[in-house]
A = this chain, B = another copy of it.
Amino acid sequence: MKPILYLSVAALLLAGSALAQTPSPTNLGRHPYPQIGKDGRVTFQVNAPDATSLTVNLGKDYPMTRDAKGVWTATTDPQVEGFHYYSLKAGGLSFNDPSVHSYFGMGRWASAVEVPGAPDADFYTPHQGVPQGAVRAVRYHSQVCGQWRQMYVYTPAGYEQNPSRRYPVLYLQHGGGEDETGWIYQGFADVILDNLVAEGKAEPMIIVMVSGVAQKADGSGDGFEQMVTEEVIPLVDKRFRTIADRDHRAVAGLSWGAKQAYDLGLGYRNLFSWVGGFSGIIVIGEFRVRPAGYEDPEKFAAAYNGVFKDPEWFNEHYHLVFIANGEAEGSHLKGMSEILKERGIDNVFYQSPRTAHEWLTWRRCLKEFAQRLFK
């Protein structure tokens, strides 16, 4: 096993000032590469003397060039601020860059860069003196899936100092190819809530994160809804000091997880009354990538076990439907929000400036959503 090698801070500062580049915060230890230039271009460097060809893929392929010593380099087009997955590619295989942290995404442990420059980065940055909640990794056995699994549970600052206080709960889902670790390591959900609560902008709440990949043990299909409603929620209500009713239970998710959040939040009206979908659609009729089926009153009234049938009932019983995405994702979710309003369904729409289908969008979505919860 090799030790992690660190450059001295002095060497880094020197390199930084000479190149006007900063190492990605996702780099392991004090690895200098990947580096991000002031224009948002990312420079990658890999030591691979024996490689015959090497490519980095960040949104698209960038062939790397080799120097005399066998060090391969590539610089990308300017990237928008935020978190971007990437891969190294050789011989048709995609794999991890050994110089950065890995994150569970793209259906495997994947590499990522964080391009700095978000004007609002403070909200997802840890600050000294802000009281911290705790993130717990909880192993649990799912009968539905026939396997031991892990959930992450965030409890807010003060949870342990106030042993009689009970808290509302947000169930928070990752996107396709990710898992229960995404909202903490890619999303900084714990930091975002710590900061919001410290500023008095959000209610202290428990956040539960489970993997949305939940094949039934008997091979009969997707067990996600059954696992959450019959196993996860009862376990959380038993193990943690929750307020165990629909008025104090929210669900949200991103992308594929937004679909799951709507399935749970709108489909199980006895369990949830606050629903958020980040970069994902409310499905009327059959699933489409873009909102569809809203023009058919029968389909609309039948969706999610008829939850939209009586808009007056809906608006009275649901505290929040929150729809959001990134500006670079286009206007289809803004359109969906407006159609829902036309159909009489109250909802709130939010759009993250500049960003696409990625984690800076979703960090902002969580920040906006969390401030509206349980009030």
Contact = CB atoms under 8 A, between A and B. Distances in A.
Contact of A219 (B8, B90, B191): B8
Contacts of A51: 90-93
A223 to B, nearest CB: 11
A70 B98 CA distance: 25
Interface of A is mostly: loop
Interface in A215-274: 215, 217-219, 255-256
Interface string A112-152: 00000000000000101000101111110100001010000
Instruction: Specify which of A30, A46, A93 lies most central, judged by the most chain B CB atoms within 10 Å of its CB.
Output: A93
Nearest to A160: B160
A315 interface: no
A9 B218 contact: yes
A98 B91 contact: no
Given A141-B128, A177-B4, A190-B139, A217 B109 contact: no
Interface string A46-58: 1011111110000
Interface stretch (A100-108, A281-289, A298-306, A332-340): A100-108
A105 B2 CA distance: 9
A200 interface: no
Contact of A46 (B93, B101, B160, B175): B93
A91 B48 contact: yes
Given A95-B88, A95-B96, A139-B126, A176 B2 contact: yes
Given A101-B109, A219-B9, A219-B10, A92 B49 contact: yes
A70 B95 CA distance: 17
Copies of this protein in the assembly total 2
Contacts of A132: 138-139
Contacts of A134: 136-138
Nearest to A136: B134
Contacts of A138: 132, 134-135
A94 interface: yes
A28 interface: yes
A145 B191 CA distance: 20
Nearest to A219: B8
B102 A96 contact: yes
A9 B217 contact: yes
A1 B178 contact: yes
A141 B109 CA distance: 26
A6 interface: yes
Contact of A4 (B53, B94, B213, B218): B213
A126 B148 contact: yes
Interface of A: 1-6, 8-10, 28-30, 46, 48-54, 70, 85, 88, 90-96, 98-99, 101-102, 105-109, 126, 128, 132, 134-139, 141, 146, 148, 160, 163, 175-178, 184, 190-191, 213, 215, 217-219, 255-256
11 contacts: A4-B107, A9-B218, A29-B213, A50-B91, A51-B91, A52-B91, A96-B96, A109-B109, A132-B139, A136-B136, A163-B163
What 3 pairs across the A-B complex have the smallest Cβ distances?
A50-B92, A51-B91, A102-B109
